[in-house]
Each structure stands twice: as C-alpha cells, then as structure tokens.
C-alpha cells in the first residue's frame, strides 16, 4: 500500500480530469478478511450542482447524497434501481459535491473470491463489467458509504500504469434520461479495446 493515492489527488478541483486520471489506477477492497482488486478501466464524472446528471444537481441535498458534500477522498455509495450498489469516488473540496463513478475494473487480485461472490465461473470478463457487478465482486455495499480511501477497507493505488489519450475513449454517460447538454457531454472514459468495459465500445 506504499503507492496509495494521496488526498491531494482526490481534492483536485476538476472532477472530469480526475475521472480520466483514475483510468489505470488499481482499486482494492479488504472485506470479510478477503482482498480483491483490479485496474480501473471505465469511469464517469459527475460535476456537482451544475450537472443535471448528478445527484447534487441544483444543490440538492438529501440523506442519500450527503456524502457527496464531504471533502474528496471518501467513497459515496448508493443503491441504484433498488438492486445495484454503486461505488463513487468523492472529489474536490468540501461542499463541492463532485464524484466519479467507477463503472468497470479489470480483475487481477482475488479473482477466485470475485467468481464466488458473483456466481460467475466461466467468464472473468463479466466479474467487474459494470458498476453493480464490480461492487458485488469486491464485496462492497451501501454500508461502505463514507469509507475513508486512506484506510484499509477501500483504497486506490498508483502502480505506474498510465494510458495515453489515444488509448482512451470519451463518450456520453450511461443512462442519462433527460434532454440538454449534460445528456451527451463526453464525461464517460474507458480504455479502448478492453474486454472488461461495461457497454459496447469503440
């Protein structure tokens, strides 16, 4: 854990830049005595009150999204469609309400544990292919909302893997069911050609 990302990384003011920079970082969880992890290969940026796609749009503040207003460097977790736990990385300074959704991970650590948690034994590409899949594979739930990313439950590391711009595709975020510029703004980033990306890709 010597390469754990510092708080300064999370507290940058540009969440779109952070979402792009998260590609290639290693995400780990240590839950129920079991270590799992992988390489982040797909993210989405959500830019606080101006972003119609954000839970904090127009400065909305509820018990559900309160963690978005914390200083960057904690996990914001919520349940989507009443089924899927979603892992977001809170960024920026306190009260800015920026967050980056982790959409897909290439599994590299504790793969057998991930298979058992997901009950998927014949296709490792599916283990962390999508935000709900990766949290289940890594043992993460809404109970981990607010987890300090400097701790030993959820953390990110920089192991020197960086993707150049030609390797990364930017597209509209998934599931934006409203009209206007934030429906199509290219704030989803993913590794071109990766078999672990959540949706059809270029």
57 inside domain = yes
Sign of CA dihedral 120, 122, 126, 127: positive
Is residue 2 assigned to a domain? no
**Within-domain flag for 3:** no
What tokens does 1 get? Answer: 């854990």
Per-run averaged pLDDT (10 residues), the chain, 202 residues: 89 98 98 98 97 94 95 95 89 97 98 98 96 97 97 97 97 94 97 90 51
Interacting residues of 183 by C-beta distance below 8 A, sequence separation 6+: 52, 53, 172, 176
Q: Is residue 36 part of a domain?
A: yes
Q: Which domain holds residue 138?
A: 8-191
Cβ-contact 75, 90 below 8 angstroms = yes
Q: Is residue 174 part of a domain?
A: yes
When divided into structural domains, the chain yields a total of 1
115 located within any domain = yes
Q: What is the pTM of this model?
A: 0.96
> CATH number of the domain that 156 lies in?
3.10.300.10
- Answer yes or no: is 198 within a domain: no
């Amino acid at each position: 854990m010597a390469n754990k990302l510092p708080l300064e990384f999370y507290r940058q003011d540009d969440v779109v830049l952070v979402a792009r920079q998260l590609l290639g970082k290693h995400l780990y969880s240590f839950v129920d005595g079991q270590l799992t992890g992988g390489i982040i290969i797909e993210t989405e940026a959500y830019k606080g009150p101006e972003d119609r796609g954000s839970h904090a749009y127009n400065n909305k503040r509820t018990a559900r999204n309160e963690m978005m207003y914390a200083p960057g460097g904690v996990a914001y977790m919520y349940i989507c469609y009443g089924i899927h736990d979603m892992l977001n990385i809170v960024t920026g300074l306190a009260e800015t309400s920026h967050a980056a959704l982790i959409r897909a991970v290439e599994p590299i650590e504790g793969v057998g544990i991930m298979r058992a948690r997901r009950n998927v034994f014949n296709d490792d590409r599916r283990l962390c292919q999508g935000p709900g899949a990766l949290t289940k594979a890594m043992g993460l739930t809404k109970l981990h909302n607010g987890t300090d990313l400097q701790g030993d439950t959820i953390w990110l590391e920089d192991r020197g893997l960086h993707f150049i711009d030609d390797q990364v595709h930017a597209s509209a975020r998934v599931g934006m069911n409203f009209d206007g510029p934030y429906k199509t703004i290219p704030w989803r980033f993913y590794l071109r050609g990766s078999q672990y990306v959540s949706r059809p890709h270029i």
